[in-house]
Amino acid sequence: MWLAALQLISGRRWPENRDQIANLLAQLPAERPLLALLPENFALFGERQGYLDGAEVPGDGPIQHQLAEWARHYGIWLVAGAMPTRIDGESRIHTSSLVFNPDGKCCGLYHKLHLFDVDVADSHGRYRESETFTAGEQPVVVDSPFGALGLSICYDLRFPELYRTLVAHGAKVLLVPAAFTRATGAAHWEPLLRARAIENQCWVVAAGQGGDHETGRETYGHSMIIDPWGRVVACQESGPAVVMAPFDPQHATQLAARMPVLQHARLMNLNAE
């Protein structure tokens, strides 16, 4: 069993990004089952109007059709890290993860809960996702041969309560597609990912954008796979690449038996007398 994170340097146009993804998928090993995670903005990485124009209705559209075909052709679990999806009757859109099984069926859809409205000390400076996107409302867990998959997107990583909720609903593998800025990534990316793995005793698969984009954006990369003990077992600093690690489903089970952190967790009411 294999876990794979595909690191990209996506641009504004789907055809070029599609070719980049196809080249990486062709590098996957033959063994199955295999889960492959694409990063945030894998299909379109640009400005507001590009996302609005390229957004698809969930369940239909050329990007989703291609994702389904890849999943069937390679016989893999393919998680589309984040792409723009339309909302009926609204001018803003969702940024969404979609999970495709080896039959090409979309069996999971998650809308990003936490929107990146921050100021960063980089060349871009101001980020306001809420001007384009609407936040999702529900955490999502999807059953798979790897155990339940807990879905998240990029800025969600800073909110540990989301991941504890996913684990409470059975998640065994936490997925983090991202486009972390170079500045925030250098400071926080790996510490946050390792913390989510350690505190939840889960595998973490993190697929990032990794390089200089045609829009002027600079992304951190460092796509990685982390085991339930918090060890980085595979990582790629920058550039398009496949980051892979064998998956041992017993690792987390054995760790939880020795150190039952989740059983020991207590919710503290700070307002209690």
**Catalytic positions:** 40, 112, 154
Q: How far apart are CA 214 and CA 154, in angstroms?
A: 20
- E strands, the chain, are 2-7, 34-37, 77-85, 94-100, 106-111, 117-119, 126-128, 141-142, 148-151, 171-178, 203-208, 223-226, 232-236, 241-246
**Tokens encoding 47:** 């400005």
Q: How far apart are CA 191 and CA 196, in angstroms?
A: 9
Q: Is cis: bond before 191, omega within 30 of 0?
A: no
**Tokens encoding 138:** 């529900």
Start-to-end C-alpha separation, the chain: 50
Contacts of 114 (CB under 8 A, 6+ apart): 135, 155, 156, 158, 159, 162
β-strands 241-246, 2-7 pairing:
antiparallel
Residue type, 1: M
Alpha helices, H only, the chain: 14-25, 48-54, 62-74, 160-168, 182-184, 190-200, 249-258, 261-264
β-strands 171-178, 148-151 pairing:
parallel
Q: How many CA atoms lie within 13 A of 241 on its CB side?
A: 17
